[in-house]
């Protein structure tokens, strides 16, 4: 029998001093484009692989129609939200369906014309007041623009984890 390898439990970061990014939680449907060696090799929804004819609210068809441009995103899994007419209630009142990447760190010059990035509401040190401020300001801004936002996403840089704060179903859709 060989000696086991020591694997330490990772340090758990504290909120203080941790950088966070707060973005708007878009109300649409989760989607992903998979690119390997410069070729789109898969398209998926939150739960399954999809294809033209069996796609996620037209997302696979959008990818097929824009594949040359979308391959410019580079290799990797490109997760985002597919939003617009016919998806959820289209709260942003978009004229056409749009793919918003979740990767807020992606430089704007690396985007293609048919892809956007979710809006960043705050980036800086972890601060409960800033989280509450972003949450409340998004609601106010959305009210002025006459749409109902879904909520915010708080990304922790240290732990590379996400937490969502929604306006409806604050304890989750399936909680009693």
- Cβ partners under 8 Å of residue 146, min gap 6: 93
Q: Find the helix or strand (DSSP H, E) in which 133 lies.
A: helix 128-144
Enter the pTM of the model: 0.86
Secondary structure letter of residue 82 according to DSSP: E
Give the Å distances, CA to CA, from 83 to 12, 15, 117, 125, 142: 35, 32, 12, 30, 16
Q: Helix, strand, or coil here: 73?
A: helix
Secondary structure letter of residue 87 according to DSSP: S
Q: Tell me: the pLDDT tens digits for 66-112? A: 999 999 999 999 999 999 999 988 988 999 999 999 999 999 888 98
Asked if residue 99 lies in contact with residue 87, where contact means CB atoms within 8 angstroms, the answer is no
In this predicted structure, what is the pLDDT of residue 173?
Answer: 55
Complete edge-to-edge strand list for the sheet that includes strand 115-117: 39-45, 29-36, 76-83, 98-101, 115-117
Rg (CA), the chain: 19
Q: Helix, strand, or coil here: 14?
A: coil
Give the Å distances, CA to CA, from 91 to 29, 63, 142, 176: 13, 23, 9, 26
Task: Pick one of 2.170.270.10, 3.30.470.30, 3.40.140.10, 2.130.10.10 as the CATH number of 19-166.
Answer: 3.30.470.30
Give the whole-angstrom CA distance, residue 98 versus residue 62.
9
Query: The tokens 């690119």 sit on which residue?
Result: 35
Q: Tell me: the pLDDT tens digits for 8-27? A: 887 877 777 789 999 999 99
pLDDT for 174 beyond 60: no
Backbone angles phi, psi at 90, to 5 degrees: 45, 55
């Amino acid at each position: 029998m060989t000696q086991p390898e020591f694997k330490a439990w990772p340090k758990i970061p504290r909120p203080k001093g941790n950088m966070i990014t707060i973005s708007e939680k878009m109300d649409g449907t989760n989607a992903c484009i998979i690119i390997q060696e410069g070729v789109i090799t898969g398209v998926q929804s939150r739960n399954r692989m999809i294809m033209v004819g069996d796609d996620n609210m037209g997302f696979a068809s959008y990818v097929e129609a824009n594949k040359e441009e979308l391959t410019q995103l580079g290799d990797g899994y490109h997760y985002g939200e597919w939003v617009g007419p016919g998806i959820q209630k289209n709260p942003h009142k978009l004229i056409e369906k749009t793919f918003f990447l979740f990767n807020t760190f992606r430089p704007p010059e690396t985007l293609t014309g048919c892809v956007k990035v979710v809006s960043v509401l705050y980036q800086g040190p972890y601060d409960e007041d800033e989280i509450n401020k972003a949450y409340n300001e998004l609601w106010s801004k959305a009210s002025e623009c006459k749409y109902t936002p879904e909520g915010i996403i708080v990304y922790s840089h240290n732990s590379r984890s996400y937490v969502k704060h929604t306006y409806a179903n604050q304890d989750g859709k399936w909680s009693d």
